[in-house]
Amino acid sequence: MIALLLSHPIEWALLILGFALLVVEMCVPGFGVPGVLGIGLSVLALYRMGPPPALLLAIVGAYVLLLLIALIVWMRRLNGKGAFKSKLVLDAVSTRPAPADEAADLSRFAGRTGAAHTPLRPAGIAEIDGARLNVVTEGDYIEAGAPVKVERVEGNRVVVART
């Protein structure tokens, strides 16, 4: 068995090169050329070696275990660093959040009147007492500019009706 392993230096070089390409594929996003070449070289090396099934299973098991260890090392090394940050995802919120007391106190608009700023079909924006609010109707369509009255406030849901 040791003689079989030592008699194939080219195949071992191909297997190690395939492993290195798979590790590179872990570091580069996507399933691209390094991953395909790495898998291809690894399969070619194992095919050319032609070990007995038990030895083949041991080699593949060790290969997969080493790949998992490399993946764990890579993930721990880059945890919270730039490799996992996408330029498409914002780091910070771009708008100012409403103060907690202002956001939670929508009940002060109950019974007040205003005008629909956008068409309400059934949801939209209404201007009530100078504040623009996301509002809903009971299912009715209300055109923009129509007078509305706040019927009730349920948490963050402001229900209006045409006056």
- The domain total for the chain is 2
Co-location of 70 and 10 in the same domain: yes
Across the chain, mean pLDDT equals: 82
Residue 111 has what pLDDT? 92
Residue-wise pLDDT tens digits, 19-78: 898 888 887 777 688 888 988 998 998 888 887 888 888 888 998 999 899 888 887 776
Residue 33 has what pLDDT? 85
Q: Is residue 39 part of a domain?
A: yes
Query: Is there a contact between 160 and 150 (Cβ–Cβ < 8 Å)?
Result: yes
**Dist CA 46 CA 14 (whole Å):** 9
**Dist CA 113 CA 108 (whole Å):** 12
Co-location of 153 and 108 in the same domain: yes
Query: What burial letters (b/e) apply to 118-144, b meaning 16+ CB within 10 Å?
Result: bebeeebebebeeeebebbbeeeebee
Domain that holds residue 14: 2-84
Co-location of 80 and 111 in the same domain: no
**Dist CA 86 CA 54 (whole Å):** 44
- Among the candidates 57, 84, 111, a domain finishes at 84
SS3 state at 143: coil
DSSP 72-129: HHHHHHTTTSGGG--TTS-SS-SSPPPPHHHHH-GGGGTT-EEEESS-BSSEEEEEET
Residue-wise pLDDT tens digits, 73-92: 887 776 655 555 555 555 55
Closest C-alpha among 79, 156, 161 to residue 120: 161
Least confident of 31-35, 93-97, 128-132: 93-97
